[in-house]
């Protein structure tokens, strides 16, 4: 019985050997990842068409549940760009954005995805990930990255634009160019340029000025936080919200609420295929990141147990006001680089985000949506990889 529990609840195994050094490293990693996740979670919720707080809610209990059931020591679970876009596309077909029905459909989608992942894990279907070719996944992610980036241009320009496909979004943007808000445009362009520079130029600059590489890396990862702070203060101090600059506005100060998914048969039927796609794509993205980071420390990842961990995380998101989640590339790399040694780092991150949800939400009232859009654009464009087209063509034209 005990061995079975240890097999399906990995925390019972690694928890027995938890050391003080591991505790210190995990807590340091949690602080860094928490700082990074606050603006990122808000941005991805906006991408999914949900209120900003939904991003925070989707980053608290899911992280804890993955820490209990997952096998990766560095994977950080939460909202990601691709899944957020897929959520918006799926839920937008059954409910209008901004309505209660939209939020209920999103959390129902998370519960369905969690149930599918859990069933796949119990049936030991983790091997199915091996049948998804790299060119297909890379092509999907590249196309999604381009679509996500273009969809955020309306927030950079300060205009209303609609559409689900690239031609539709581009056409809508062109039609509304006469409505561009100059102040919003400046905030969006400057934020985007700053974040791109932070990714490439800040770390070498700090090292050249004598800062230790590890501290320079931490400063680089905190770049989005600096953009959030500066633009929020600018909007508040100069009263820019009264001049047409769109802001986040009031965000509830609370821990994740207890929510229940819909049991409407028509809704469940409409969301089943999207839930299945989100489950598969989310698992492939997550397992790819987990295996890559585990290989660096010669650790082992169990694909079947990962399905169970991700399934539990999504069920947690669905019952606490969130939406579908998976292991994120950027936050997982930050978690790894910051020295996380066990999944407990994720649990400490959840505590930090819970504190933020309770105490820090009033501080983001004047946060411009253009800054969040810039954060999304910079994050997703890093996933775009056109080289895979040339590689695939050279390898096999078919």
Express each pLDDT in 328-367 by its tens digit: 877 787 778 777 878 888 889 999 999 988 888 888 889 8
What confidence score (pLDDT) does residue 65 get? 94
pLDDT at 123: 93
Residues 341 and 20 sit within 8 Å (Cβ to Cβ)? no
The per-residue pLDDT for 276 is 94
Residue 298 CB neighbour total at 10 angstroms: 6
Could you tell me the two tokens for 235?
Answer: 């909007």
CA-angle at 368, arms to 64 and 49, nearest 5°: 55
Task: Convert 375-385 to b/e letters by CB count within 10 Å (16 or more is b).
Answer: bbbbbbeebbe
User: Which residues lie across from 368 on neighbouring strands?
Assistant: 247
pLDDT at position 271: 96
Instruction: Tell me if residue 243 falls in helix, strand or coil.
Output: helix
Q: What is the CA radius of gyration of the chain?
A: 21
pLDDT of residue 14: 61
In this structure, what token pair is assigned to residue 90?
């799926």
Please tell me the total number of residues recorded for the chain in this structure. Answer: 398
Q: What is the pLDDT of residue 8?
A: 65
Distances (CA, A) of 101 to 79, 94, 108, 256, 274: 20, 8, 10, 18, 17
Query: Would you call 90 exposed, middle or buried from its count of C-beta atoms within 10 A (0-12, 13-18, 19+)?
Result: buried
**216 CB-near residues (< 8 Å, 6+ apart):** 202, 203, 206, 207
Helix, strand, coil: what percent of the chain each, to 5? 70, 0, 25
pLDDT under 70: residue ranges of the chain: 1-8, 11-17, 129, 132-134, 137, 141, 383
Phi-psi category of 249—alpha, beta or left, where left has phi over 0 and alpha has psi -120 to 50?
left
Q: How many domains does the chain have?
A: 1
- Helix H or strand E encompassing 43: helix 20-47
What is the per-residue pLDDT across 85-103, written as a single tens digit (0 to 9) for each? 889 889 999 999 889 999 9
Q: Which class for 293: exposed (0-12), middle (13-18), buried (19 or more C-beta within 10 A)?
A: buried
Full residue range of the structural domain in which residue 23 is found? 2-395
């Amino acid at each position: 019985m005990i061995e079975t529990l240890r097999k399906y609840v990995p925390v019972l195994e690694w928890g027995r050997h938890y050391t003080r050094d591991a505790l210190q490293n995990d807590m340091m990693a949690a602080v860094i990842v928490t700082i990074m996740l606050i603006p990122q979670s808000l941005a991805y919720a906006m991408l999914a068409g949900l209120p900003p707080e939904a991003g925070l809610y989707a980053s608290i209990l899911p992280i804890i549940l993955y820490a209990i059931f997952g096998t990766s020591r560095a994977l950080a679970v939460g909202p990601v760009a691709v899944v957020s876009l897929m959520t918006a596309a799926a839920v937008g077909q059954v409910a209008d954005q901004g309505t209660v029905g939209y939020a209920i459909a999103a959390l129902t989608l998370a519960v369905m995805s969690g149930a599918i992942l859990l069933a796949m894990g119990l049936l030991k279907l983790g091997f199915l990930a091996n049948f998804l070719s790299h060119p297909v996944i890379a092509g999907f992610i590249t196309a999604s990255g381009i679509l996500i980036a273009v969809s955020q241009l309306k927030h950079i320009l300060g205009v209303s634009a609609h559409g689900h496909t690239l031609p539709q979004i581009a056409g809508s943007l062109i039609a509304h160019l006469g409505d561009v808000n100059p102040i919003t445009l400046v905030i969006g362009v400057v934020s985007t340029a700053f974040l791109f520079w932070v990714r490439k130029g800040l770390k070498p600059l700090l090292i050249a000025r004598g800062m230790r590489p590890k501290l320079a890396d931490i400063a680089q990862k905190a770049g989005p936080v600096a953009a959030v702070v500066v633009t929020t203060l600018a909007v508040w101090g100069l009263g820019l919200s009264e001049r047409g600059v769109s802001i986040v506005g009031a965000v509830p100060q609370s821990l994740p609420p207890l929510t229940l998914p819909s049991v409407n048969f028509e809704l469940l039927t409409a969301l089943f295929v999207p839930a299945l796609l989100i489950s598969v794509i989310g698992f492939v993205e997550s397992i790819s990141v987990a295996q890559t980071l585990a290989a660096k420390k010669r650790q082992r990842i169990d694909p079947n147990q990962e399905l169970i961990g991700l399934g539990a995380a999504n069920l947690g998101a669905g019952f606490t006001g969130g939406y579908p989640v998976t292991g994120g590339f950027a936050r997982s790399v930050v978690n790894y680089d910051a020295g996380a040694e066990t999944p407990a780092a994720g649990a400490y991150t959840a505590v930090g985000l819970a504190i933020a949800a309770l105490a820090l939400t009033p501080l983001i009232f004047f946060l411009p949506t253009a800054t969040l859009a810039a954060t999304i654009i910079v994050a997703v464009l890093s996933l775009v990889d056109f080289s895979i087209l040339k590689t695939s063509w050279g390898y096999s034209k078919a």
